[in-house]
Amino acid sequence: MRLKALWIAAAALLGVSSVLGQAQDSSQPGEKQIAAVFDGLATDKTPGLAVLVKKNGRVVFERGYGVKELKTGSRIDSKTDFRLASVTKQFTAMAIMLLVHDKKLSYETTLGEVFREFPEYGRKITVRQLLNHTGGLPDYEDLMEAREKEKGPMWSPEKQIQDAEVLQLLEKATRAKFAPGTKWDYSNSGYVVLGLIVANVSGKTYGDFLHERIFAPLKMADTLVYQKGKNSVPNRAYGHSKEKDAFKETDQSSTSATLGDGGVYSSVEDLSKWDDALRKHTLLNEEEMKPALTPGKYGSSTLPGDAPASLHGVKVEYGFGWFLDPYKGHKRMWHYGDTTGFKTAIQRFTKDGLTVIVLCNRTDLDPGALAERIIDLYE
């Protein structure tokens, strides 16, 4: 009798726990609430977006809206690959961190140690300063513009600038924007150079290193570093811009071939695996990840012109490939991407167990703002 009573009591307790668990789940936003954020944004005749929401490692919402390209009308889904633009920077940072793990590099290695011909103005810039945007390298797009004023048109969507040419422009420059470590200035130049450092130090191409050390181990089968003429993007979304009331394909620009600052294509399904790896410390242990999640120290800060409105006037906190400023008091690591035809965002709230990823193949949407509307549902 006593055993039976204990069994009944245990069953009752489990029942109460189950009800409490259901009550707790019911307090979270449902699929309809999340879906309502995206209602009407895209149709089966417009480019659109893919969305992923995870809570405590579990996918609670995963959906595609709109089409990959107007010509075919092929629908966007969770496997559709978008150009990540600057969301690429977290993968470049991870590649550098893996080389530090391998003891092939240190965060205090200088640019002059890797590239012996680099001019004096930048020889003392460290890998750490490149990672957290405090190096002061000139903007390579400004250097491109100056070169074309001098010599006429040189680059176009058909003849895109390559990483090696970016390095040549930087080596021909005569001065930095500021002394290393004295300011914060978002630097695509710095991340192109970091991609070149990955290749130089590892002895592999940037794309091969990321595939072998990040994408393949995490089974991110559809994620790759795209290089026109060398590989192809599976399930590819093409970029679009809205002109008046119509969309126009605007998939490539003269700077679309650079790698470390924005060359990765991926899907929300694969980025869910990336999120899992970050949560479980699959590639690097928690201690090794700390430098990436520690804001760099700097004086003043300058945001790029394409920065989301949510960043304007906000004190910038940046680690290695991640913005680190909190949202409504909640600790987060996040990034946005903005390039010809694409806008992207990933927001991770590690203490709250919440991740939201929004990838768009059109430039009239703000994926960061959409992600924050989802986050607000969990407040």
Sheet holding 333-339, edge to edge: 58-65, 49-55, 354-360, 342-349, 333-339
Q: Is the pLDDT of residue 304 over 80?
A: no
Share of the chain above pLDDT 70, in %: 89
Q: What is the pTM of this model?
A: 0.90
pLDDT tens digit string along 63-119? 999 999 999 999 999 999 999 999 999 999 999 999 999 999 999 999 999 999 999
More confident site: 221 or 316: 221
Q: Is the pLDDT of residue 6 over 90?
A: no
52-347+365-377 belongs to which CATH class?
A: alpha beta
Q: Is the pLDDT of residue 356 over 90?
A: yes
pLDDT of residue 141: 96
- 234-257 burial, b at 16+ Cβ within 10 Å, e below that, comes to ebbbbbbbeeeeebeebbbbbbbb
Q: Amino acid identity of 179? A: A
Q: If you count them, how many residues does the chain have?
A: 379
What tokens appear for 168 in the block? 């040549």
**Tally of helices (H runs) and strands (E runs) in the chain:** 12, 12
Angle at 188 between CA 137 and CA 167, to 5 degrees: 60
Q: Is the pLDDT of residue 11 over 70?
A: no
pLDDT of residue 305: 58
pLDDT-derived band at 3, boundaries 50, 70, 90: very low
Q: How far apart are CA 362 and CA 340, in angstroms?
A: 9
